[in-house]
């Protein structure tokens, strides 16, 4: 079964840091671009970041650029999101998601984890 399992969320003070992880199973992780998407309480979905299959190319929403870093360890089938200089507006449920087709960015997100909650206290 294809599965994504996020972890690492929690309560942090504004200005603090947190590292999220997403463990993948049931598919060849190293051949898929991977993404982070967040959802603030009661709000819609917001794309956060994307990494290429190798991790050599990374992309960020303007709202997190310069503060968040996406990375991956293909030997461990794990995706990461390092979040620094956290703000109250970063409070959200963070999902990892894989693209539908291998080796492309040009696709929908077909598998999502259940999310990990990040709460930033001001």
Partner 1 sequence: EIVLTQSPGTLSLSPGERATLSCRASQSVSSYLAWYQQKPGQAPRLLIYGASSRATGIPDRFSGSGSGTDFTLTISRLEPEDFAVYYCHQYGSSPLYTFGQGTKLEIK
The residues that touch partner 1, with contacts defined as CB under 8 A, are: 33, 35, 37, 44-47, 50, 57, 59, 62, 95, 100, 105-110, 112-115
CB of 47 to partner 1, least distance (A): 4
Of 27 and 59, which has the nearer Cβ to partner 1? 59
Of 86 and 99, which has the nearer Cβ to partner 1? 99
Q: Burial level of 89, CB count in 10 A (0-12/13-18/19+)?
A: exposed
CB of 111 to partner 1, least distance (A): 8
Q: Report residue 89 as tokens.
A: 């507006």
CB of 31 to partner 1, least distance (A): 16
CB of 14 to partner 1, least distance (A): 26
Of 83 and 99, which has the nearer Cβ to partner 1? 99
Rg over CA atoms, the chain: 13
Q: Burial level of 38, CB count in 10 A (0-12/13-18/19+)?
A: buried
**φ and ψ of 94, to 5 deg:** -105, 120
Of 27 and 47, which has the nearer Cβ to partner 1? 47
Closest by Cα among 65, 121, 88, 93 to 8:
93
């Amino acid at each position: 079964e294809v599965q994504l399992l996020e972890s690492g969320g929690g309560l942090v003070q504004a200005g603090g840091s947190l590292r999220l992880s997403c463990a993948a199973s049931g598919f060849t992780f190293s051949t898929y671009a991977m993404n982070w998407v967040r959802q603030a309480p009661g709000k819609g979905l917001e794309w956060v970041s994307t990494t290429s299959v190798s991790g050599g190319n990374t992309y960020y929403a303007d709202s997190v650029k310069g503060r968040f870093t996406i990375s991956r360890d293909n030997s461990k089938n794990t995706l990461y999101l390092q979040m620094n200089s956290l703000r109250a507006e970063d409070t959200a449920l963070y999902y990892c998601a894989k693209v539908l087709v291998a080796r492309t960015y040009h696709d929908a997100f077909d598998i999502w984890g259940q999310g990990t909650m990040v709460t930033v206290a001001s």
